Chain A
Amino acid sequence: MKISVASGKGGTGKTLVATSLALSLIKNNPSVQLLDCDVEEPNVHLFLDQEPINETTVSLPIPKINEDLCQHCGKCTEICRFNAITLLKDTILIFPDVCHSCSACWHFCPTGALEPSPREVGTVQISQSGKLKLITGRLNLGVHASPPVIKAVRGAIDTDTVTIIDGPPGSSCPVMAAVEETDYCILVTEPTPFGLNDLSLAVEMLKVLNVPCGVIINRDVPGNHLIDDYCQEKGLPILLRIPLDTEIARAYAKGIPLVKSSPVWTEKFIDLYQQVTQEVTK
């Protein structure tokens, strides 16, 4: 079972849900994997004591020029849709940050002056926190290619183990890379007009990806029906409500997962998992 946790925007409590769900599930499972796919700013590790196991780097191929073979024909410049390689005077200039690793330039260079060479874009760290295995993706500073790093994190999992994925915020390519082909996606939102707007964008995205989803309302206030009305209209289940509560916020700000600061939540997250399982098999 692979469950992704996403939200239309940052700061809605995505990580709070992902860590608490994973920590609740280790009570009844031999092992659980928690993936931090918010590669631009991974923060799950701040909530768990952990032992590092290993770290691998993620690289993408970018062109490397052999000046001796280059005839300055400009073919590579013409073919690159991203302007990542350009011929200025008699120099070939390569812009690694702009390159999408599409391989066209070295494929079409008539003289073989270009060849692919690996550029490190990020890392995947595996660590263990009790029965919980944490896999963290981290994008190198100044690099903009999140999806390949997210894919590498997802490639590092053991497919038979329950997996919880903490995705990046938003509803663009990086989120898609984190939620696609998961069995279910939990969307965390707040009962505000902004929360609703971002939630509806995320719901549309999941429809395209064909991933079933349900909603958790975080910082819920009684009497506010904004999200409820939307979910009813769309036929989306509300899986859990986490109240607006200073105690919860305070513990979380100190890096204590919700199920550790108030263990009563463990049962609620186990129930949540059961609801999700039913939704998936229904």
Chain B
Amino acid sequence: MLIAVSAFGKNQDSEVNPRLGRCEYFVLYDTDTDKYSSIDNTGRFSQGAAGIATASLLSNQKVQVVITGNIGPNAYTALEAAGIEVFTGAKGTAQDVIKDYQKDLLSKANAPNVGPHGR
């Protein structure tokens, strides 16, 4: 299973970026191989609702779980439709929050926790 963390950098020591749609990178962790990798969040350059483009990028990467700080209504709807689970309120490095996730310490988002455009 592939987990994505919205982050400021490209590796497991990078800090979580709380903004899902506008984060620079996603640090990916594959639970089957115990390997880290990363992707550029090309969605952040989009003119319109960045969260939607980001959600479709994650869906195309076959990500199943996303860990981030905040999620808005459009991105939430899109991730839900893609069957991707979202965990919010994460702080620390990518590696830390993945551990937190595995210990079941993160809260699962059942609704967006910020308004459109991160308001």
A residues with CB within 8 A of B: 77, 80-84, 86-89, 91, 93, 95, 97-98
Contacts and interface: CB of A to CB of B under 8 A. Distances in A.
Contacts, number: 49
Given A89-B59, A95-B74, A98-B74, A83 B53 contact: yes
Contacts of B37: none
A86 B52 contact: yes
A83 B82 contact: no
B118 interface: no
Interface of B: 46-50, 52-53, 55-56, 59, 74, 77-78, 81-83, 116
B81 to A, nearest CB: 5
Nearest to B84: A88
From DSSP, what is the main secondary structure of chain A's interface residues?
Answer: loop
B83 to A, nearest CB: 7
B94 to A, nearest CB: 24
A88 B59 contact: yes
9 contacts: A81-B47, A83-B46, A83-B48, A83-B49, A86-B55, A86-B78, A95-B49, A95-B52, A95-B77
Contact of A88 (B46, B81, B116): B81
B48 A84 contact: yes
Contact of B48 (A81, A87, A93): A81
Contacts of B47: 81-83
Contacts of A89: 59, 81-83
Given A83-B53, A89-B59, 14 more contacts: A82-B49, A83-B47, A83-B74, A84-B49, A87-B56, A88-B78, A88-B81, A88-B82, A89-B81, A89-B82, A93-B78, A95-B52, A98-B52, A98-B74
Contacts of A87: 56
Contacts of A77: 56
A93 B49 contact: no
Q: Counting chain B CB atoms within 10 Å of each CB, which of A81, A84, A86, A97 scores highest?
A: A86
A19 to B, nearest CB: 32
Interface centre among A81, A87, A89, A93 (most CB of B within 10 A): A93
Nearest to B56: A86
What 10 A-B pairs have minimum CB-CB distances, sorted nearest first?
A82-B48, A83-B52, A88-B82, A83-B48, A98-B49, A83-B49, A86-B56, A83-B53, A88-B81, A88-B59
